[in-house]
Amino acid sequence: MSRNLHSAFQSIRQNKIRSVLAGFGIAWGIFLLVFFLGIGNGFKSGVMDLFHGYAQKSLFVYGGRTSIATGAMGENTQILFRKELIERLKARYGVVIACSAEMTRPSVPVVSDDEATTASVKGVCSDYFRIKILDTKSGRALNHMDEMTGRDVAVIGEEVEHALFGKASGLGKKVTIGNELYEIVGILSSEDLFSIQDRSSVYIPAPSYNASFNSEGVINSFCLSLSSDAPTTEIEKDLKGYLAWMYGFDPHDDNAVYVANIETQTNTFEKLFSGLEILIWLVGICLLLSGIVGVTNVMLIIVKERTNEIGIRKAVGATSASIISMMMTESVLITAVAGTTGALLGIGVVTLADKLLLPLFNTDVISHLEIDSMTIVASMIVLCICGVIAGLFPALKASQIEPVDAIRYENRG
C-alpha cells in the first residue's frame, strides 16, 4: 500500500497542473454541495424557529363567512363564537390543557401622559400565553388573577413602548386604552421574526376587553393546546363538526371556519426542507459526476503514458490486482485531496458568511448558517465513491495490458 501511495505522489508531483485541473471539478462540486447545504440548514433553522413560538400541539380557530346556506344560517353570514364556548371545549375534550379567546380590535388609541399612538388591542385569557409563547423583555405576561379579577393591566409591544415613552421604560406606568386606564405590567420582546407582529400590539385580559370593546361578548377567534399524545388531525376534524352543529353552519363549508393546525404546518415545512435537502444533494452529485469524468480522462491518459512501465511490471511478476490497486490509489488520492480542499473551503465560506455577512442583512428567516457533522461524514463517503468510480475503468484497462503489447507500444513510439 505504501509503495502505491509513493508511486501516486510521484506521478502527481510530475504532473501538477494536470492533477490540479483533474481535481478542480471534484473540489468545485464538493464546495457547492457544502455551501448550499449550509444555507439550506440555516434557512430551515430560521423558519422552524418560528414554530417554536407556538405550543406544538395547538389549534388556532378563526371565524369566517359561510359560503353554503343552511336552514339556520344564510350565505355570507359571519361566524362569531360566544365566550361560553371556551369552557365547553375544555369540558368536551379531555386532552385540552389550555384554551383562550383571541379578540382583536385594530387601530385603538393608546395614550400616555405626554404621547399618543395607535395599536392593535387583543383581549385574551391567561392560557393564551401557554399556547402562543410570547417572551417579555421586562415585567410579566397576563396571569390567571388578572383574568379572574378583571384587572385593568396590559402587556405592550416594544414599538408601542417606544412611541409612548421614548427610550424610557414603560413598565409600571399608566396608559389610556380606549376610555379606560391600564397599568403596564409587561413589555414584549421582539428579537425574532415571530414576535415582530406583536411590536405594535397590546394584550389585555379578556374581561377588560369585553367591558371596553365587546359588550356582546362575541369571539372572532380562539386557540387551544392539547396534550402531547393528542391526535391533532382527528380533533381538528371533530372540532369543525362540533362548531357546525353548535352554530348552525354546514359542516362541509370550508369558508365558515379556518383552523390552523400548528403540528400539521410544522410537519409540512419539515417535509419541504427534507425535499430541498435531497434536491441539493442531487445537484451536488451531478456536479461531482462532471468532476469524475475529468479525473477518469486524466487517468486514461496516465495509463496510456505508463503503458511501457505497466508492461514491465507485469513481465516481472506484477499481478492484475496490483496494477488495479496502483491506479486506483492515484485516482482516490487526487479525488480525496481535491474533495477535502473543496469541503474545507465550503466550511470556511459558510462560517465567514455566518459571522460577517448574515448580521449585515439582519434577517430572522435564516437564523444561522451551519454544517452538521453528518453532512461532513456523508461528503467524505461521497468522495470515496467518486474516487473509486473515477479510477475503476482506467485501472481495469491498465490491468489488461500485456508485456508484449507494451513492447509494441514502445517501439511504435
| Higher-confidence position of 282 and 399 | 282
Q: For 112-238, list the strands marked E by DSSP.
A: 116-124, 136-139, 153-156, 174-177, 180-188, 201-205, 218-219, 221-226
Which of 53-62, 206-215, 322-331 bottoms out in mean pLDDT, i.e. has the lowest?
Answer: 322-331
In angstroms, rounded to a whole number, what is the distance separating the alpha carbons of residues 280 and 40? Answer: 9
Cα pseudo-dihedral 28, 34, 35, 36, rounded to 10: 110
Binned at pLDDT 50, 70 and 90, residue 112 comes out as: very high
State the pLDDT at residue 266: 82
State the pLDDT at residue 97: 92
In this predicted structure, the answer to whether residue 67 has a pLDDT above a threshold of 70 is: yes
C-beta separation of 157 from 119 below 8 A: yes
In angstroms, rounded to a whole number, what is the distance separating the alpha carbons of residues 141 and 186? Answer: 6
State the pLDDT at residue 133: 82
pTM: 0.71
Q: Number of helices (H) and strands (E), helices first, in the chain?
A: 15, 12
The predicted model gives 344-349 an average pLDDT of: 86
In this predicted structure, the answer to whether residue 258 has a pLDDT above a threshold of 80 is: yes
Q: For 243-379, list the strands marked E by DSSP.
A: 257-261
Which of 93-102, 157-166, 189-198 bottoms out in mean pLDDT, i.e. has the lowest?
Answer: 189-198
| Cα 126 → chain centroid | 30
Contacts of 352 (CB under 8 A, 6+ apart): none
State the pLDDT at residue 152: 93
C-beta separation of 208 from 150 below 8 A: yes
State the pLDDT at residue 404: 63
In angstroms, rounded to a whole number, what is the distance separating the alpha carbons of residues 86 and 79? Answer: 15
Taking the domains of the chain in order of start, what are their residue ranges?
A: 2-52+272-412, 65-255
Beta strands 153-156 and 180-188 are: parallel
Q: Give the model confidence (pLDDT) of 379-395 as tens digits.
A: 777 777 777 777 777 77
For the chain, give the mean pLDDT.
Answer: 82
CA neighbor of 34 nearest in space, from 291, 354, 272, 281: 281
State the pLDDT at residue 407: 59
State the pLDDT at residue 60: 93
| Higher-confidence position of 260 and 192 | 260
Which of 11-20, 148-157, 345-354 bottoms out in mean pLDDT, i.e. has the lowest?
Answer: 11-20
Query: What is each CA distance from 99 to 55, 92, 246, 264, 333, in whole angstroms?
Result: 12, 12, 18, 19, 62
CA neighbor of 215 nearest in space, from 127, 83, 73, 63: 83
C-beta separation of 52 from 214 below 8 A: no
CA neighbor of 298 nearest in space, from 5, 3, 24: 24
Which of 101-105, 177-181, 233-237, 394-398 bottoms out in mean pLDDT, i.e. has the lowest?
Answer: 394-398
In this predicted structure, the answer to whether residue 110 has a pLDDT above a threshold of 70 is: yes
Q: Which three cell numbers stand for residue 349?
A: 465560506
C-beta separation of 324 from 396 below 8 A: yes
In this predicted structure, the answer to whether residue 410 has a pLDDT above a threshold of 60 is: no
| Higher-confidence position of 330 and 162 | 162
Q: Give the model confidence (pLDDT) of 41-57 as tens digits.
A: 877 777 766 666 677 88
In this predicted structure, the answer to whether residue 7 has a pLDDT above a threshold of 70 is: no
| Higher-confidence position of 192 and 145 | 145
State the pLDDT at residue 332: 78
State the pLDDT at residue 339: 82
In this predicted structure, the answer to whether residue 148 has a pLDDT above a threshold of 80 is: yes
Binned at pLDDT 50, 70 and 90, residue 365 comes out as: low
| Higher-confidence position of 317 and 86 | 86
C-beta separation of 131 from 224 below 8 A: yes
Residues recorded for the chain = 413
State the pLDDT at residue 6: 61
